[in-house]
A and B are shown apart, each in its own frame.
Chain A
Amino acid sequence: MYRYDEFDHRFVRERTAQFADQVRRRLDGTLTEDEFKPLRLMNGLYLQLHAYMLRIAIPYGTLSARQMRRLADIAERYDRGYGHFTTRQNIQFHWAQLKDVPEILEKLAEVEMHAIQTSGNCIRNVTTDQWAGAAADEIMDPRPWCELLRQWSSLHPEFSFLPRKFKFAVTGAPNDRAVCRGHDIGLRMHTNEAGEPGFEVMVGGGLGRTPMLGKTVRDFLPVGELLPYVTAIMRVYNRFGRRDNKFKARVKILVHDLGLDAFKTEVEAEYAKGDHEHEVEVSGDELQRIRAYFAPPAYEDLPERDPEHDRRVFQDKDFAQWVRANVAKHKVQGYAIVNVSLKPIGGIPGDASAEQMRAVADLAERYGKGEIRVTHEQNLVLPHVRRQDLHALWQALERHDLATPNLGLVTDIIACPGLDYCALATARSIPVAQAISRRFEGVARQDEIGELKIKISGCINACGHHHVGHIGILGLDKQGKEFYQITVGGSGAEDAAIGRILGPGFAAEEVPDAIERLVQGYLKGRNDRTEPFLAWTRRVGQQELKEALYAAA
């Protein structure tokens, strides 16, 4: 994991002191709320329905056990004993008091954390594959590049007052677990014919009210050119992105309005000036320094199979189910990636109690080399676990209600905070997620249905990524009543697609039945078990999908 050096520490400390001063000026009335607003937003502090919400950056979703414990302390001391993990691989506390915020930030700074640039029209927390450095299908580790981008974008002098927020995602694997095409800039690492490392650069993805998938502006950008090249993109966007209408201000609209070719021409013309290098030049030794932090942990030489593990899988069907659903293939023999579900049946997606956070921290230390990841699907990951420890780990997770065997299954639902917390919401999302989760509670049934990603947003801002859900649910307000529009066939993976609306929406209480009908239609209509839900939606026509969704009861 990356560790702050004295400079990173000083940077965050200075920033914390600066914000503490701004809070002080707000509390004593020197600053009005209007003046304070842009300042607090630069520090991740939102004013929500009931209280302030503090959003804390978890750069590329990586946490140490120590950091997780600190989050638990904050949850207990300053919130109601909970934290909420988000689709940005961040954590939010929904019940913060303004007067406590400087103290919270100080406590975070002690463990190398902060809330800088988690809101506002700037470059936000860079996200990546939650299995980075561990996944069997990984070509290159994206984390050093994420860290480089994090440093480069921190209080960037030119790009901190953009037309709108700006999000980066990076993946080092062909299976895109970072929704690269759903970001303002998506970077996919790969190699060219000569075997040199580089990025495919995708620009202009984004969900929200005008969902668009990112378009490729460079198939292959040598890794060394990353910062100069993204500087050129950012400059084109900063200069020419729309500022007259915040709903048309994301870079996706600029790419769309100019057309991909004209946008590319602008970027390449800017880049051809060639004077971005010294602004952001990163000497080889700096990259080397960062890379060293991401060296693989000390793995043991283990056999691929562990007879004891195999025996337990054979004997204990609950354990077997959890292994099947939540454990993924590691790149090192004898190790596994463990996904810790924050989606207990009927629970609030992404919520973790202080006690659960501490449990995960302890287990990460005991079984997982002290490392924890947060996923954009609002779960946690222990990326490096010995196969032989899986059973003991599973039992411990069970005790804390963290072993729901549902990763990627129908009850592993993404939901934004919605009307229960969010001032922008038009409808609730959490209760809808809970109702669907309860409806599909049975493990055998979930298994039968297979991979099915449901994503719920409480308004068109789409924080719940509903557009890229295999089933997307969007909560709207229709004459004062909550009402839910359902889309089908979206995907945030390498086969990215925006889901299609099939017809009229549903009242809240009708949603579980509607999902049930779709699932029934799928189970009846699929070729066989090897055809997942998403493939089925793509194979059959709109008509068949409609018939399933609106079938008479």
Chain B
Amino acid sequence: MPLLKKGVFVEDAWIFVADDVPIPSKGPIVVGLDRLEAEGDAIAPARRLGVRLKAGERVERLAPHLQRLDLVALEFPVFSDGRAFSAAAMLRKRMGFAGEIRATGQVRVDLHPFMRRTGFDAFQIEDDARVLRSWRDADIAVDLAYQPDDATRDGPLPVWEARRRHRREAA
């Protein structure tokens, strides 16, 4: 599936390992949460490891494993299911996770501003001509937000912060 990072499509080296498939002997892998908890310790510490979270799974369960993780994939089972936004925001801000947060599932361009602002930095996009085109077409967007964007720190300047600066300059 096409993978978008920092605005460009990149090669995806990660192997998403289904729960009922043996873990391949090499390469960076992404496993399910249950498997991470059950077999995580058995995976060589040097190996790059990621986990995928279903929308209903509590992100708190990752706490004991975060040091070990390079990637967390959060699922949008349908595009209107916004649970992953909370998970991403908590991962970044509360749990201090600095690795890749990848959006998977129904990853639609119209969600992109919300995803970016809650901390997603990788987008796995459906290999569908129309969906891909929409990502390319989406050059008009809202780049101003009221809420601080400290999840990623590269987002738009929040309105409240802009006002504060404005006032400081005026003073």
Contacts and interface: CB of A to CB of B under 8 A. Distances in A.
Interface of A: 5, 7-8, 10-11, 14-15, 17-18, 21, 25, 30-31, 35, 38-39, 121, 151-152, 154-162, 235, 238-239, 243, 273, 275, 278-283, 285-286, 289
B144 A243 contact: no
A121 B80 contact: yes
A162 B82 contact: yes
Interface in B42-92: 58, 79-83, 85-87, 89-90
Nearest to B87: A239
A238 B82 contact: yes
B137 A155 contact: no
Contacts of B159: 7-8, 11, 151
Interface residues of B, number: 41
A278 B148 contact: yes
Given A280-B147, A282-B160, A238 B85 contact: yes
Contacts of B117: 157
B79 A158 contact: no
B111 to A, nearest CB: 7
Given A14-B143, A17-B140, A238 B86 contact: yes
Would you list the 10 A-B pairs with minimal beta carbon distance, nearest first? A161-B82, A157-B117, A7-B159, A158-B85, A14-B142, A151-B146, A21-B140, A11-B144, A157-B118, A157-B114
Contacts of A154: 146
A235 B86 CA distance: 7
A279 B83 contact: no
A279 B148 contact: yes
B144 A39 contact: no
A161 B81 contact: yes
A7 B82 contact: no
Nearest to A157: B117
B163 A286 contact: yes
B144 A7 contact: yes
A158 B140 contact: no
Contact of B111 (A8, A151, A161, A285): A161
B163 A289 contact: yes
B142 A160 contact: no
Contacts of A121: 80, 82
Contacts of B149: 157
Contact of A39 (B89, B110, B162, B163): B110
A152 B147 contact: yes
Interface of B: 58, 79-83, 85-87, 89-90, 93-94, 110-111, 113-114, 117-118, 130, 133-134, 137, 140-151, 159-160, 162-164, 167
A169 to B, nearest CB: 21
Contacts of A8: 159
Contacts of A273: 94
Contact of B141 (A18, A157, A160, A275): A18
Contacts of B163: 5, 7, 286, 289
9 contacts: A18-B140, A30-B134, A31-B134, A121-B80, A158-B82, A158-B114, A158-B118, A239-B87, A275-B93
Contact of A11 (B87, B140, B142, B164): B142
B147 A30 contact: no
B144 A279 contact: no
A283 B164 contact: yes
A10 to B, nearest CB: 5
Contacts of B143: 14
Contact of B160 (A31, A159, A286): A286
A35 B143 CA distance: 22
B144 A239 contact: no
B70 to A, nearest CB: 24
A174 to B, nearest CB: 31
A17 to B, nearest CB: 6
A151 B145 CA distance: 9
A18 B80 CA distance: 19
Nearest to B77: A243
A111 B160 CA distance: 22
B101 to A, nearest CB: 13
Contacts of A280: 147-148
A115 to B, nearest CB: 14
B145 A157 contact: yes
A155 B85 contact: no
B17 to A, nearest CB: 26
A506 to B, nearest CB: 39
A243 B81 contact: yes
A282 B147 CA distance: 10
Contacts of A155: 113-114, 142, 145-146
Contacts of A235: 86, 90
Contacts of B164: 283, 285-286
A264 B87 CA distance: 20
B146 A279 contact: no
Given A278-B148, A279-B150, A158 B89 contact: yes
A183 B4 CA distance: 40
Contacts of A285: 164, 167
A10 B144 CA distance: 8
A5 B94 CA distance: 33
A277 to B, nearest CB: 11
Contact of A160 (B90, B114, B133): B114
Nearest to A158: B85
Nearest to B142: A14
Contact of B142 (A15, A31, A162, A289): A15
B82 A278 contact: no
B62 to A, nearest CB: 14
Given A7-B162, A14-B144, 19 more contacts: A35-B134, A38-B80, A39-B110, A121-B82, A152-B146, A154-B146, A157-B89, A157-B114, A157-B147, A157-B151, A158-B82, A235-B86, A238-B82, A239-B86, A275-B94, A279-B93, A279-B148, A283-B160, A286-B160
A7 B167 CA distance: 13
A278 B94 contact: no
A279 B117 CA distance: 11
Contact of B85 (A10, A161, A281): A161
Contacts of A159: 82, 85
B147 A156 contact: yes
A280 B148 CA distance: 7
